[in-house]
Structure 1
Amino acid sequence: MTSAAPSSSGSRTFILIAALVAVLLVGAAGGMLINSARSGADDAFPSAESVDVGFAHDMRVHHLQAVTMAGIERDKTADPVLRGFAFDVESTQLAQSSEMAGWLTVWGHPQLPEAGAPYMQWMSENGTHTHSNGEGGTTTGPVQRMPGMATTEELNKLRTLTGKELDVFFLQLMLRHHVGGLEMAQYAADHAAKGYVRNLADKIVQSQESETNLMKSYLAERGAQPLPFP
């Protein structure tokens, strides 16, 4: 079971420390990548159209929304178990997002996709790979909304809730979010060119599958059901 996090002010301190550590780790990772490339141990950095860059861009967007939702729950919940769970999600996905930002910087790409650009183009494989379209169906091309992403209205609603209603809605949104991200992470784990990208993608799959099962049990304990997956 996830342990309870410290008080709200203490949690903020720990999150700041985690962010600083993540930045240091990203810097160290970037240095290792550059040295590896210079020594010939690594191939040319991936192109903008690659699975590696596409995954890093899209998963950063996906992760950063999870960080936002987890921060809301951590600050507002009165449930120590869910405060601890939210803290774990927030700190883990912040660190992973920072790692991906480090890759993108070293590779010479922006840290986020271009505004208005479609998502999941990197999963299209010339129109032969079928994946979720984020709207309840499937497609072989790019999408405008990644699977599992909360809407602006849902995020605004989460901010207004308190008590059990807050906890249940947070779990429902985060569960749907985790399930939506699994498809992208698994594809990157199978198809990315760089071993370190495949490794992180595989870690995301494993951790989010575990957390998905945990959230289902938390919802059941509170007499609630998951949201339909769009």
Structure 2
Amino acid sequence: MTESEHGTADHPAPAEPHRPVRSGRIAVLVAAGVALIVVAVVAFSIGRLSSLGVTTPGDRSADAGFSRDMQVHHLQGVEMAMIIRGISDADDMQTLSYDLATTQAQQAGQMYGWLEQWGLPQYSAEPMAWMTEGGHEHGSATTDATSDLDATAAPAMPGMATEAQLDELRSSTGVEAERLFLDLMIAHHLGAVEMAEAALELADTTVVLRLADSIVRSQEAEISLMERMLADRA
């Protein structure tokens, strides 16, 4: 290493550039990821305990179908929340994304625990069959962000974002990313409410009915909040 690299008493070597913003953001995301894992593990244990003594639903029951499909739906919600959490610095967006991610991870863990306790597969080869077999034809919640996509790319579950939309969100920045996230998450919540309302009509177990009711109430409130946040960014 040369003298200029080491520096001298009269001319000390330049300090390495400080990068607190990036390292701070990474630390926040890592901490949030660890928190989500802890939440999911605890919820899994609670889910198993809460299903003890419950009559085991059948493999094609609405209880099992809802628990499988809502897990998939919720986990995409967690993914979307973590994407915007890594992009936006806005306080309201940071709070919303954290609440969405932890709540939906916790509920997904509960449903995983129920299916384990019931001895049923976690995933179905026929997503949403429990709704159509129960007489519910689910719609496709759309927003301005989804309306111009090829209909053949529409996902099977109501409100689910496509891979193209997730890629667009990942590549967006600033207020544009915040608006896109809110638009997609409102549609996502509308789809979850639709599924939960169907479960309230078709499911039999107390644990599923309670969770479905909680999802309807909490996500309708969050839709109203996100609509206000979207209006603030118009």
Q: Tell me the TM-score normalised to structure 2 length.
A: 0.78
Q: Which residue of 1 aligns with 2:44?
A: 26
On the 8 A contact 1:118/1:144 being kept in 2, the answer is no
CA separation in 1, counterparts of 2:197 and 2:216?
6
**Equivalent residue, structure 2, for 1:161:** 172
- Structure 1 residues 222 and 55: CA distance shift in structure 2, 3 A: same
Q: How does 1:111-130 map to 2 (within 5 A)?
A: 111-113=122-124, 117-125=125-133, 128-130=135-137
| Cross-structure match for 1:196 | 207
CA-based RMSD: 2.2
1:190 deviates by: 2.6
Change (3 A) 1:25 1:65: closer
* Partner SS, residue 136 of structure 2: coil
Q: Judging changes above 3 Å, is the alpha-carbon distance between structure 1 residues 220 and 118 closer, same or farther for their aligned structure 2 residues?
A: same
1:49 maps to a residue whose letter is: R
- Say which SS state the counterpart of residue 57 (structure 2) adopts: coil
Q: Return the offset for 1:77.
A: 0.6
Runs of at least 5 residues in structure 1 that lack an aligned partner in the other structure: 1-6, 37-41, 137-142, 224-230
State the Cα distance separating 1:80 from its structure 2 match: 1.5
Considering only CA atoms, is the larger Rg found in Structure 1 or Structure 2?
2
Q: Does 1:94 align with 2:112?
A: no
Residue-pair matches, total: 200
Distance 2:229 2:180 in 1: 12
1:187 Cα shift? Answer: 1.1
CA shift at 1:21, angstroms? 3.7
Q: State the 4+ residue runs in structure 1 displaced beyond 4 angstroms.
A: 133-136
Shift of 1:211: 0.5
Query: Does 2:94 align with 1:83?
Result: yes
SS at match of 1:52: helix
How far off is 1:125 after superposition? 3.8
* Unpaired stretches in structure 2, ≥5 consecutive residues: 1-23, 148-153
- The equivalent residue for 1:209 is 220
Among 118, 133, 139, the residue aligned to 1:132: 139
Q: Which amino acid aligns with 1:46?
A: P
Deviation at 1:18, TM superposition (A): 4.3
Conserved in 1, the CA contact under 8 Å of 2:155 and 2:161? no
Contact 1:104 1:111 in 2 (8 A): yes
Amino acid at match of 1:63: H
Give runs of aligned pairs for residues 171-182 of structure 1, distance below 5 A. 171-182=182-193
What residue in structure 2 maps to residue 147 of structure 1? 158
C-alpha deviation, 1:11, in angstroms: 5.3
